[in-house]
Amino acid sequence: MKRSKPTISEINNSPRPPRKIDSRAELRQLQRVMTGALFRPLTSQWGMQKRWTDGAPMKVLASEFIKPNDRLSSFERLEIYNRQYWFRVLDCLYDDYPGLRAVVGERRFMKLATAYLTKYPSDSYSLRDLGNRLEPFLQEAPHWAAPREELAVDMVRFEWAQVVAFDGPAKPPVTPDDILDIPPSKLLLGLQPYLSLLELNFAVDDFLIAVKKGESEALRGEASNAMDGAPKAAVRRKRVRFPKREKVYLAVHRHDNMLFYKRLDQEAYAILTSLARGDTVEDACVGAVTASERTNVDWSAQIKEWFDGWSALGWFCRKL
């Protein structure tokens, strides 16, 4: 029987280590203790906490399942792993979410990331999944992004979509022969799993481009200072203006193993989301055109152009 992963409650209320391991239950108990020790937040001085979840001295607990050596105590050996876990996951979030960092600020980002990982520790073998619950976390605890809560959520959705697009699974694309004899009223098309469709309240795509450009210029300046040898004033990064509220529709995807994001018209977004829900091509197109407020549009030509482009990008797959 396959054992489930330790729950957040088990981690936060980890027991004491067993005196010996003679059963799977005792092994699981030891695993929960070790997991709890690794996932416990560090102190403000980046050290391991001095007390265990039950209030016992951490030095005593560490000595119950970690052997000292001639250089380090049990506490110090365990602290190395506790610190390296947190340094690694915080670094990953820092690198993966430059847009969120720009929205909330560098200092608050680290506090936000620590609070997030305390509530939602890593539960995947892959670090790419580390931020998969940032959106619900910000919705549950919006104060971490105040006063730009909505912008932060939009940015997290956009940056997570890029993670999905970069290495998400792909299915064989639909070919013309696959759909040749199927009328639009019966044709069902699936969308690639790596494709994300986003309805956003801010132009986070343009904002993120500006943020990354500013970071790149700052890094070049710092490298130039290092090469010159003589100490100079620190390169000041330009502050990027926060975007104003506007409705934006985006498709985040990959093509030829490269990451892209593409602005969509509202009607195009409506068609794609309708297809993703399982509607036929005919129903999706009719519904989008009927709801549109635009006039004087040759919808037949426009829809054909959209579908030709989406097909060339390989967005469509078989609907299971």
Per domain, the residue ranges of the chain are 1-95, 97-167+206-242, 171-203+245-318
φ, ψ of residue 269 to 5 degrees: the values are -60, -40
Q: How far apart are CA 288 and CA 270, in angstroms?
A: 6
Give residue-wise pLDDT tens across range 27-41.
988 888 998 899 999
One-letter identity of residue 228: D
Query: Using an 8 Å Cβ cutoff, are 204 and 243 in contact?
Result: yes
Q: How confident is the model at residue 237, as a pLDDT?
A: 60
CA dihedral 77, 16, 42, 70 (to 10 degrees): -10
Residue 105 backbone dihedrals phi, psi, to 5 degrees: 95, 150
Mean pLDDT of all residues belonging to the chain? 88
Mean pLDDT in residue range 124-153 = 95
Convert the pLDDT of each residue in 241-257 to its tens digit.
Answer: 999 999 999 999 999 98
Name the residue with tokens 């105040």.
146
| pLDDT at 232 (0 to 100) | 46
Distances (CA, A) of 222 to 107, 150, 231, 295: 21, 33, 11, 52
Kind plus residue range of the DSSP H or E element containing 163: helix 149-167
Mean pLDDT of 178-189: 92
Residue type for position 162: Q
**pTM of the prediction?**
0.84
Residue 218 near residue 235, CB atoms below 8 Å: yes
Distance from first CA to last CA of the chain, Å, rounded?
A: 30
Q: Residue 234: is its pLDDT beyond 90?
A: no
DSSP, collapsed to helix, strand or coil, labels residue 301 as helix
Residues in CB range of 306: below 8 A, 6 or more apart: 268, 271
Q: Say what the pLDDT of residue 216 is.
A: 66
What proportions of the chain, in percent to the nearest 5, are helix, strand and coil? 55, 10, 35
Q: Is 64 helix (H, G, I), strand (E, B) or coil?
A: coil
Q: Evaluate if residue 233 carries a pLDDT over 50.
A: no
pLDDT of residue 168: 92
Residue 190, C-beta contacts closer than 8 angstroms, at least 6 positions apart? 171, 275, 276, 316, 317, 318, 319, 320
* Cis peptide preceding 15, ω within 30 of 0: no
Query: What's the CA gap between 132 and 196, in Å, rounded?
Result: 14
Quick one: what percent of the chain has pLDDT higher than 70?
Answer: 88
Q: Is 201 helix (H, G, I), strand (E, B) or coil?
A: strand
Token readout for 245 is 């509220």
Token representation of residue 182:
């199927």
Q: Are 36 and 53 in contact (CB under 8 A)?
A: yes
- Give the span between the Cα atoms of 93 and 121, in whole angstroms: 12
User: What confidence tens digit (pLDDT) does each residue in 259-299 have?
Assistant: 999 999 999 999 999 999 999 999 999 999 999 999 899 99
Residue range 76-102: mean pLDDT, rounded: 95
Q: Find how far residue 47's CA is from the centre of its chain.
A: 27
Residue 273, phi then psi, degrees to nearest 5: -70, -35
Local confidence band at 228 (pLDDT 50, 70, 90 cut-offs): low
Give one word for 6, left, alpha or beta, with left for phi > 0 and alpha for psi -120 to 50.
Answer: beta
**CA nearest 261: which of 217, 205, 209?**
205
Query: 196-227, pLDDT tens digit by residue?
Result: 999 999 999 999 999 999 876 655 444 444 44
Query: Out of 63-67, 131-135, 215-219, which region has the weakest mean confidence (pLDDT)?
Result: 215-219
Distance, in Å, from the CA atom of 245 to the CA atom of 249, rounded to the nearest integer, reads 13
More confident residue, 10 or 80: 80
Q: pLDDT band at residue 6, thresholds of 50, 70 and 90?
A: low
